[in-house]
Amino acid sequence: MNRFAIKAGLGACVLGASVLIPAQVSAEPAATATGTELSGMTVFLDPGHQGSSEGHDLAQQVNDGRGNTKDCQTSGMTSLGGVPEHTINWNVTQLVKSSLESLGAKVVLSRQDDTGWGGCIDERARAASESNADLAVSIHADSTAQGEDAGKHGFHMIIPSLPIPDEKADAAQSGGGLEASKMMRDAYKSDGFVPANYAGVNDGLQTRADVAGPALTQVPLVFVEMGNGSNKEDSAQLESSDGQLKHAITITTGIVTYLLTGSETAPAQELAAAPAATTEPEASEDSASSTTTTTPKATTPKSTNPKSTAPDSAQLSELMEMLAPLLEVQGLDGLEDLVNDKNLGLVSDLASTLLAVITGAGGGN
């Protein structure tokens, strides 16, 4: 598979029928994604937690990957607006899934709905490893208090403390997992998200030894904490349809960047600069993993973020037609109102960020 199939001349792209990239951002003629850019690749997506734990014991002890045990699962946080984390994670995951599939990727989910049981953390890690995915992404939202916590905000990627006892898991997470996590962090920063300012997070990376998923996963894994549900601004974005779309586009950007440009042998030197967090209030775990597919070495794309010219209202009907498949995704409500005359520019600008990454896929820094 040619991982540089997306050329620099790409001027328009539809990911999951969820975004429109206007031709104005490129000097080249507009083109549309072929739908085969990620053909032959598999991504394992883990929407953290589950809709219901009825009939299951969340406190059941399972392997933590480091010679000890921990709880099978946690219930996850609830945002300040009363939206459960499992639903936020599910909605964002469905958007990412749609995007990746539109580029030809195979997507495997850790759970199939947002109403039932989603499995223990060790089961999800095992499923990710057995999926032979090129990358696994566990999607979460954090919390630091039962009520509002105005001072703590921002996103972060959870990085496992190294070495991991299991040699395969250690190789996967110190190589491709770390590289993909850095790329996801960079995608978040490029899209204007602010790294978390709590729990030992260093420039968007948090090193931990108490999260079982990465230690049990024998393939590259990115563990995303999208924001702090205890913070008013973070919570509002996590709850809203347009906020979830922005997170989904950013996560898709990180995934596509790794799949097209990753080397799988990134050095672990940045871990030395990231202090291990000693505590993590309201820690939410639900891990997934990916597999050991070899990826050709290449340079990381430039982190450019050009501004686009928003489509005018005359393009609304065309854009809505392109969005139609997305609006049919089960479990997402209210997206029919997402794209309108007022926020066409928002969708366009978010999409152009993804374009900046993709069009730099074959270039150097």
Q: Which residues are catalytically annotated?
A: 225
Neighbours of 67 (CB within 10 A): 8
Here the tokens at position 317 are: 């009907």
How far, CA to CA in Å, does 37 sit from each of 88, 160, 180, 291, 348? 28, 30, 18, 19, 21
Neighbour-count burial for 254-268, b at 16+ CB within 10 Å, e otherwise: bbbbbbbbbbbebeb
Structure tokens at 363: 């270039």
**125: its two tokens:** 């890690």
Enumerate residues 6+ apart whose C-beta is below 8 A from 308.
21, 22, 24, 25, 348, 349, 351, 352, 355
Closest CA to 339 of 355, 354, 317: 317
Closest CA to 320 of 343, 287, 301: 343
**DSSP per residue, 215-230:** HH-SS-EEEEEEEETT
- Helix (H), strand (E) at residue 93: helix 85-102
Q: 196: which 2 tokens?
A: 């978390």
